[in-house]
Structure 1
């Protein structure tokens, strides 16, 4: 470690233990003073105090403590989570993707070559999956096929979660389902209520059109609903995206990229205000919306091309917009999670730039001091690259995101849970470890959630999860053409 690194480490230790550094000498001085006065004189001074002073000294702190305990938000815990594992027959190797694209008359050779180049540079592997309807020529995009995909993913994830937790469907008080691009009638929430026979008084919500960060929005909504529900209530959060009706069949380059990135996936999470048998504690949820700016609002936009084909248009300004949203989000998140030493360094840098010299390089807070694990939305290679650079993360710290993109592709709002499952499948989660989830979505949004591990998985943590059959093969080496 360099001398500057050693100085920074010493500064962090000093600031982090400032209370101890100040309290210990004060306590020692008080003890010395008490020993000097003697017990008789101390007792005499206490008796000399007025009754009103004694009352205030005991009542005010007690009353303040009671008010604080009554008004503070309830702690929300994650009991467990489960991710959908696509069946092998849904696998889409690169060669199959290219062959189907060439056979479909809606794509010309120029579009096929463009998608081939995108796929080769995407960071996806050969095992990502598309729903069965997308394996037909031409692909099926009807309502029945779309609903079949949604039911397969959602019911499989919920079945796994209920089996892991031993929770009965009748114990679920709140249900939040998110799927951005497919909102049938009845809603997905009604579909789950019907399948599992949930209670008639269950609070249920279906969020649509919220983009890839809707999973964290759903967690935030469930947390808020749990605050007003009876203590110990349980909230089921289900996150997915339906690929079947949203495969773009035109020739606009800006709308072809989602075809190469998005793959089938979903996750179910069980939250509660009771910590019994909980796996994680929810520490923070921070949401940032930049949709007030036209450029941000339209950078991920569902529309028709000039031939009437519906798709998602990704603006060339997407990374710039995402960077601005990230800056706003970490500005709000930083003071809530960073240790005092990092906040002091940031404040000193800010003051120096404003007062002394604008040429002073701004200090980028080191979020590695606040978190042990990072789950960055696997939206694409460029997204992961940019966040790794911005947050100065190591290759190991973004490994979960890169490997999730390689194995499962961009599964939209559920990708963060596949990444958390990767960390646990590799045996890296420890009690007390902190996890930062960062999601991006249309609108444009950047949302964060901070978790603290209460109970790590058993030694075979990957068993039964999405990485059960492949964790031993990861991490894989991604060729330079994909990383750069």
Structure 2
């Protein structure tokens, strides 16, 4: 870069900084002049000025204080809309077809087939879930090309629906966050989106891999942080998982479970920090809380991608998974509780904590579990499996209606990984239950091991968007699920 180019670049940066921070910079000389004038006055003179100009002084201090407050507080982040992928009916795979397909592939022994059948019956999944075309094929096609086809089909279809509903100018999107745990090609999935939709050249793009089913909340948290830096813009968050190259063809039982639970799905969310977008937005982001238990070896290894003895790759789920998830949940709600719970619940929780600390020698009181039903109207618990939903329903003392969206999402779409919490929110909207002021708790678990929460508040009575993923079947739900 020549000297003139460097000068032009620096001038542009200084200009951007000056315009962006002009209101703040304007306050500096005003405050300086005020302080200089005050410093020149004696104590008696200052007293007289305050006596005769008290109203003017109060007005000035109020204006300065209000200006500083509004300029320093973080900007609100709004959710304009979101979309969930609805696969074509040709990709449905019921339990009977699943088992028939497993037999035909010829890679599973008798014990593995019996195990998969047993898991399916207990899984909570219905007969309407979807798998990608490559897995339907006989023999299956776990190729890079087929995996790309799956990613493009899910992501582009979901984004097309979102952009159609929001009518957003794509050149105004400054932040792009994509999360997909197990498929990370080159160029990245985020680059694939930039290329397809011709996003701006200076878009801040992020591609999150290997972060498991809780990565959807992580992606929202990252987008939220970026929207605190860049003003008056949009952030696009895409959450999905890729099954094509991650179907397990071995006989290790701990690695067969994901085959029975994970299904095709994805979501796209459009966020804005423009104050003018509040009126047309569905929700406002209130809190994000992230918990990472990766420093503990058991937690780190409980969801682990590896090769079996026959060198076939899959994801192994530990028997300790639910116990580790419970510990992660406790840590997460300990941080979240003070932010969302009413004071009455916080006092009871604190009193129990203090009592246990003071009377160590005596029999400890059972830790008080706060009533989160007082803080939230709707719960979107990651549909990782029936056991996950059962455990949270029990741990948080929820009622069946609070976990209905999670159970029905698991039944209808299966475990769609990081996007499942959005299918659950879409279910609540499709049922007409989301009212203005309602608070929503999205909570997800993922490898690492992580437990992450996002809290939203509804800005209006929320109607389901056009092409809501439930609109064709919501009349059939809820259905009875054998527990």
Q: TM-score, normalised by structure 2?
A: 0.86
Residues 443 and 454 in structure 2, CA contact (< 8 A), matched pair in contact too: yes
Structure 1 CA distance for aligned equivalents of residues 297 and 53 of structure 2: 62
Name the residue aligned to 2:216: 215
Name the residue aligned to 1:471: 474
Q: Any idea what the Cα deviations from partners look like across 1:373-417, whole Å, max 9, x if unmatched? A: 000000000000000001111000000000000000000000000
Q: Any idea what the Cα deviations from partners look like across 1:110-164, whole Å, max 9, x if unmatched? A: 1000000000000000000000110112211001100000000000110000011
Residues 165 and 465 in structure 2, CA contact (< 8 A), matched pair in contact too: no
Deviation at 1:47, TM superposition (A): 10
Deviation at 1:62, TM superposition (A): 5.1
User: How do 1:208-287 residues align onto structure 2 when only pairs under 5 Å count?
Assistant: 208-229=209-230, 231-275=231-275, 276=277, 277-287=280-290
Deviation at 1:456, TM superposition (A): 2.9
Structure 2 CA distance for aligned equivalents of residues 177 and 269 of structure 1: 10
Does 1:332 pair with 2:335?
Answer: yes
2:325 counterpart SS class: helix
Structure 2 CA distance for aligned equivalents of residues 429 and 449 of structure 1: 17
2:353 counterpart SS class: helix
Deviation at 1:171, TM superposition (A): 2.1
- Return the match for 1:393 from 385, 389, 398: 398
Residues 462 and 471 in structure 1, CA contact (< 8 A), matched pair in contact too: no
Residues 300 and 442 in structure 1, CA contact (< 8 A), matched pair in contact too: yes
User: How do 1:79-118 residues align onto structure 2 when only pairs under 5 Å count?
Assistant: 79-118=80-119
Name the residue aligned to 1:295: 298
Structure 1 CA distance for aligned equivalents of residues 477 and 338 of structure 2: 35
Residues 254 and 313 in structure 1, CA contact (< 8 A), matched pair in contact too: yes
- Return the match for 1:380 from 366, 373, 385: 385
Deviation at 1:86, TM superposition (A): 1.1
2:401 counterpart SS class: coil
Name the residue aligned to 1:432: 437
Residues 102 and 109 in structure 1, CA contact (< 8 A), matched pair in contact too: no
Structure 2 CA distance for aligned equivalents of residues 64 and 93 of structure 1: 63
Residues 290 and 443 in structure 1, CA contact (< 8 A), matched pair in contact too: yes
Name the residue aligned to 2:175: 174
Extract unaligned runs of 5+ from structure 1. 1-45
Does 1:120 pair with 2:125?
Answer: no
Residues 352 and 358 in structure 1, CA contact (< 8 A), matched pair in contact too: no
State how many pairs are aligned: 432
Structure 1 CA distance for aligned equivalents of residues 320 and 431 of structure 2: 36
Name the residue aligned to 1:30: none
Structure 2 CA distance for aligned equivalents of residues 296 and 382 of structure 1: 17
Deviation at 1:181, TM superposition (A): 0.2
Q: Any idea what the Cα deviations from partners look like across 1:158-192, whole Å, max 9, x if unmatched? A: 00000111112222111111101000111001100
1:449 counterpart SS class: strand
Structure 2 CA distance for aligned equivalents of residues 62 and 347 of structure 1: 39
User: How do 1:16-165 residues align onto structure 2 when only pairs under 5 Å count?
Assistant: 50=51, 63-165=64-166
Structure 1's 360 and 249: CA in aligned 2 closer, same or farther, altered over 3 A? same
Name the residue aligned to 1:195: 196
Structure 2 CA distance for aligned equivalents of residues 51 and 89 of structure 1: 82
Structure 2 CA distance for aligned equivalents of residues 292 and 57 of structure 1: 53
Structure 2 CA distance for aligned equivalents of residues 191 and 183 of structure 1: 11
Structure 1 CA distance for aligned equivalents of residues 363 and 232 of structure 2: 52
Structure 1 CA distance for aligned equivalents of residues 363 and 380 of structure 2: 34
Name the residue aligned to 2:409: 404
Name the residue aligned to 1:39: none
1:448 counterpart SS class: strand
Structure 2 CA distance for aligned equivalents of residues 423 and 294 of structure 1: 37
Deviation at 1:351, TM superposition (A): 1.8
2:205 counterpart SS class: strand
2:213 counterpart SS class: coil
Q: Which ranges of 4 or more aligned residues in structure 1 deviate by more than 4 Å? A: 46-64
Structure 1's 241 and 353: CA in aligned 2 closer, same or farther, altered over 3 A? same
Q: TM-score, normalised by structure 1?
A: 0.86
Q: Any idea what the Cα deviations from partners look like across 1:221-260, whole Å, max 9, x if unmatched? A: 111111111x220001000000000000000000000000
Does 1:456 pair with 2:457?
Answer: no
Structure 2 CA distance for aligned equivalents of residues 76 and 382 of structure 1: 33
Name the residue aligned to 1:31: none
Q: Any idea what the Cα deviations from partners look like across 1:7-45, whole Å, max 9, x if unmatched? A: xxxxxxxxxxxxxxxxxxxxxxxxxxxxxxxxxxxxxxx
Residues 436 and 462 in structure 2, CA contact (< 8 A), matched pair in contact too: no
Structure 2 CA distance for aligned equivalents of residues 182 and 351 of structure 1: 47
Structure 1 CA distance for aligned equivalents of residues 152 and 312 of structure 2: 26
Deviation at 1:61, TM superposition (A): 5.7
Structure 1 CA distance for aligned equivalents of residues 465 and 177 of structure 2: 26
1:81 counterpart SS class: strand
Structure 1's 150 and 352: CA in aligned 2 closer, same or farther, altered over 3 A? same
Root-mean-square deviation (Å) = 1.9
